[in-house]
């Protein structure tokens, strides 16, 4: 719907809906649909702006503990997650490690459990 408004202009879309809807209930439903679209677009745009901001900040980060800590601390909101952690797979030892918001190292064996399944499948673990 937003693409139609962008391509045809708001007046053309308004006239189309005015011609196609006869009752006040139908018009209210169209207005509700447009409002939902705009609200959804606004939320998406805000999340995208936030993500771009954080990517720029991450490009300034030079060491791994700071980078992983920043991810854990700041990108939770963007992905609407309680926890967010990027795990580094240390192939020589078979240990996954990361850093939390307080820059404390967290280690995990990747040979069983939910983390193992997520790691093997390549699908993110949604906690």
Which one-letter DSSP state was computed for residue 86? Answer: P
Strands of 95-99's sheet in order across: 88-90, 95-99, 105-109
Contact by Cβ (8 Å): 72, 83: yes
Supply the pTM of this predicted model.
0.53
pLDDT digits (tens, 9 = 90+) for 48-107: 898 899 889 888 888 888 888 888 888 887 777 888 888 888 888 878 888 888 888 888
Euclidean distance between CA atoms 86 and 103, whole angstroms: 13
Of the candidates 99, 97, 106, the one whose C-alpha atom is nearest the C-alpha of residue 73 is 99
User: What is the domain partition of the chain in residue ranges?
Assistant: 2-121
Which phi and psi (to 5°) does residue 105 adopt? -70, 135
């Amino acid at each position: 719907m937003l693409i139609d408004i962008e391509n045809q202009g708001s007046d053309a879309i308004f006239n189309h809906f005015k011609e196609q809807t006869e009752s006040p209930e139908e018009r209210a439903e169209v207005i509700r649909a447009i409002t939902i679209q705009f609200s959804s677009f606004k939320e998406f745009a805000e999340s995208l702006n936030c993500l771009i901001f954080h990517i720029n900040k991450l490009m300034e980060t030079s060491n791994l503990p700071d980078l992983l800590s920043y991810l854990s601390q700041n990108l939770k909101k963007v992905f609407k997650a309680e926890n967010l952690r990027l795990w580094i797979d240390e192939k020589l030892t078979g240990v996954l490690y990361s850093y939390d918001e307080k820059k404390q190292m967290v280690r995990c064996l990747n040979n069983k459990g939910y983390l193992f399944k997520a790691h093997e499948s390549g699908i993110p673990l949604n906690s």
